[in-house]
């Protein structure tokens, strides 16, 4: 994923409402979200057919993981291992978040810059989610997520890039809908680019920085290819929708998956 916004409200009727955009080269071979039956512990995820991993995955018990890359300081650098391994490894391991985090730290340098968000609904407390945790290549110690609205893009959690701050405002405006468990069509859907003066400096040329500044990227060769909404309620019911997007940012396919963990 390249832009993720979520409302984390333990103890509420809808403790987690999360939306995520996946930006990628359009010619990179990909399978849409589906249940992977070739693992010891099946997961629901899209599949990157080039490296074999995924950007967002969840299992029947409600354990989930999503990964974004980090641009500042990592442009032009490649890792020995694919970041897409991380969500699959977490879900296939059945380890707790803290144990998985500890196991990754010795080899964290083998991956290109990444953010990893880990969640676990299986240890539900007070009708919410017990654990929601973020760590990254730059902040390997990570942090337990506090209640509120958080946004993650291609730098540290809540780094105030223009599209991140816009996402935060969109989530705040959508809170009445989110409290009812409804999806908001306004969140992460803006195609507007940031002004030159407000662009972050991440190490890519201006043309790319401008292209990437939109929440939903419209590019011929690179763009926002899918959007996912994850909703979890206090009865541990899970609702997941994946929207495949075309070059014009319009929805071309929808897949819905609902179950109780």
Angle value at C-alpha 172, between 55 and 19, nearest 5 degrees: 15
Residue 206 to residues 128, 196, 200, 210, 232, Cα–Cα distance (Å) = 42, 8, 10, 6, 39
State the pLDDT confidence band at 17, using cuts at 50, 70 and 90: very high
| pLDDT of residue 128 exceeding 60 | no
Tens of pLDDT along 214-253? 999 999 999 999 999 999 998 889 999 999 999 999 999 9
R_g of the chain, CA atoms, integer Å? 17
Q: Looking at residue 123, what is its pLDDT?
A: 61
Tally Cβ neighbours within 10 Å of residue 10: 18
Which residue ranges form the domains of the chain, and what is each CATH number?
A: 3-260 (3.60.60.10)
Of 76-80, 176-180, 182-186, least confident by mean pLDDT is 76-80
Q: Residue 126 pLDDT more than 50?
A: no
In sequence order, what DSSP letters do the residues of 6-44 get, joined into one string? EEE-TTSSS-EEEEEEEEEETTS-EEEEEEE-SSSS-EE
List, for residues 188-216, the tens digit of each pLDDT value: 999 999 999 999 999 999 999 999 999 99
Residues recorded for the chain:
261
Q: What residues form DSSP beta bridges with 86?
A: none
- Candidates 2, 26, 1; CA nearest to 221 is 26
- Note the pLDDT tens digit of each residue in 92-120: 998 999 999 999 999 999 999 999 999 99
Which pLDDT belongs to residue 94? 82
pLDDT band at 39 (very low <50, low <70, confident <90, very high): confident
């Amino acid at each position: 994923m390249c832009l993720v916004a979520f409302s984390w409200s333990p103890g509420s009727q809808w403790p987690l409402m999360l939306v995520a955009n996946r930006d990628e080269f359009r010619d990179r071979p990909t399978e849409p979200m589906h249940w992977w039956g070739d693992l010891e512990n099946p997961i629901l995820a899209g599949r990157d057919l080039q490296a074999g991993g995924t950007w967002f995955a969840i299992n029947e018990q409600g354990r989930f993981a999503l990964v974004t890359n980090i641009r500042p300081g990592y442009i032009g650098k490649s890792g020995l291992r694919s970041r897409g391994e991380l969500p699959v490894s977490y879900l296939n391991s059945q380890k707790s978040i803290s144990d998985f985090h500890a196991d990754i730290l010795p080899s964290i340098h083998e991956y290109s810059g990444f953010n990893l968000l880990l969640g676990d609904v299986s240890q539900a407390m007070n009708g919410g989610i017990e654990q929601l945790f973020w760590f990254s290549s730059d902040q390997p110690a990570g942090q337990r997520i506090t209640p509120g609205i958080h946004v993650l893009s291609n730098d540290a959690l809540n780094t105030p890039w223009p599209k991140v701050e816009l996402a935060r405002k969109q989530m705040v405006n959508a809170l009445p809908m989110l409290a009812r468990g409804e999806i908001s069509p306004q969140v992460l859907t803006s195609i507007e680019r940031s002004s030159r003066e407000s662009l972050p400096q991440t190490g890519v040329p201006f043309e790319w920085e401008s292209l990437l500044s939109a929440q939903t990227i419209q590019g011929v060769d690179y763009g926002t290819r899918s959007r996912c909404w994850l909703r979890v309620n206090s009865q541990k019911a899970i609702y997941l929708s994946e929207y495949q997007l075309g070059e014009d940012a319009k929805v071309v396919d929808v897949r819905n998956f609902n179950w109780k963990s």
